[in-house]
Amino acid sequence: MKTMDGGWTAIQKRVNGSLSFDRTWTEYKDGFGSPEQDVWVGNDVIHQLTKEKDCFLYVSITLQEGTTLYEMYDRFSVSNETEKYQLFLAGPATGTLGDSMVNTGRSYTNLAGMYFSTPDRDNDRHSDGNCAAYSDVRGGWWFNACRFAFLNGQWSRAEWTFPWYPTVESGSTVRETMMLIKCL
């Protein structure tokens, strides 16, 4: 609640990696975890919180050595399940993490407008399979083809590549992640 004048709601948090984010469509829909530890509040909840409001998204990654980097986006919302929890995200993005979701410089890595995918539900634009089901990924996210920003990877492992490219290239360097929203 102290982040940037408070009033934020955590929609994703990972603090110790004890909970796998390799989950089904239904689990991401309903949510899982514990607010005190690792949590995904659920895509239905995210949709309800953001559907008719102007919301900001605040993303932070704390590295193993203690540095916390962040990025804030001026517009954030997620559509309903019928629309595959499509991500609406716009800048300008500001912060110390760098924009790895909207203005990436590569159309195949931009996440604005992407649908949510899980290992059991392929909604990405990758022509060679389901990004969420690849052995080095295994988690739900708004994938394009495939990822350069992905906070739900295999915790603290070198196989978790590109949590937030190019600033954070390996999950083995990550201590904590958070996604917070504030709606007006």
pLDDT of residue 1: 55
Contact present, 57 and 70 (Cβ < 8 Å)? no
Please say if the pLDDT value at position 95 is more than 90.
yes
The answer to whether the beta carbons of residues 23 and 32 sit under 8 Å apart is yes
Asked if residue 121 lies in contact with residue 142, where contact means CB atoms within 8 angstroms, the answer is no
Is 153 a member of any domain? no
| Model pLDDT, residue 81 | 98
Give the total number of structural domains in the chain. Answer: 1
With respect to residue 59, please indicate whether it lies within any of the assigned structural domains: yes
- pLDDT for the residue 174: 93
Q: Give residue 124's pLDDT.
A: 96
Q: Which domain holds residue 26?
A: 3-116+172-183
Do the domain assignments include residue 53? Answer: yes
What is the number of helices (H) and of strands (E) in the chain? Answer: 2, 11
Structure token digits, residue 135:
């052995």
- The angle at the Cα of 118, spanning 45 to 158, to the nearest 5 degrees, equals 110
pLDDT of 3 > 80? The answer is: no
What is the rounded average pLDDT of the residues 49-55? 94
Average pLDDT over residues 151-167: 86
54 domain-assigned: yes
Q: Are 93 and 99 in contact (CB under 8 A)?
A: yes
Contacts (Cβ under 8 Å, ≥6 apart) of 63: 69, 168, 173, 174, 175
**79: pLDDT strictly greater than 70:** yes
pLDDT given for residue 86 in this prediction: 98
170 bridge partner residues: 161
- pLDDT at position 98 is 95
162, part of any domain = no
Could you tell me if residue 139 is inside a domain?
no
Q: What is the model's pLDDT at position 54? A: 94
Instruction: Specify the CATH number for the domain of residue 91.
Output: 3.90.215.10
**Nearest alpha carbon to residue 116 among 33, 40, 14:** 40
Tell whether 133 is covered by a domain. no
Choose among 7, 28, 48: nearest CA to 152: 28
- Residue 10 counted as domain residue: yes
CB-based contact 183:50 (threshold 8 Å) = yes
Among 19-33, 91-105, 137-151, top mean pLDDT goes to: 19-33
Beta bridge partners of 90: 75
| Mean pLDDT of the residues in the chain | 92
Place of tokens 């790895």: 100
Integer Cα distance of 165 and 108 in angstroms: 13
pLDDT of 33 = 97
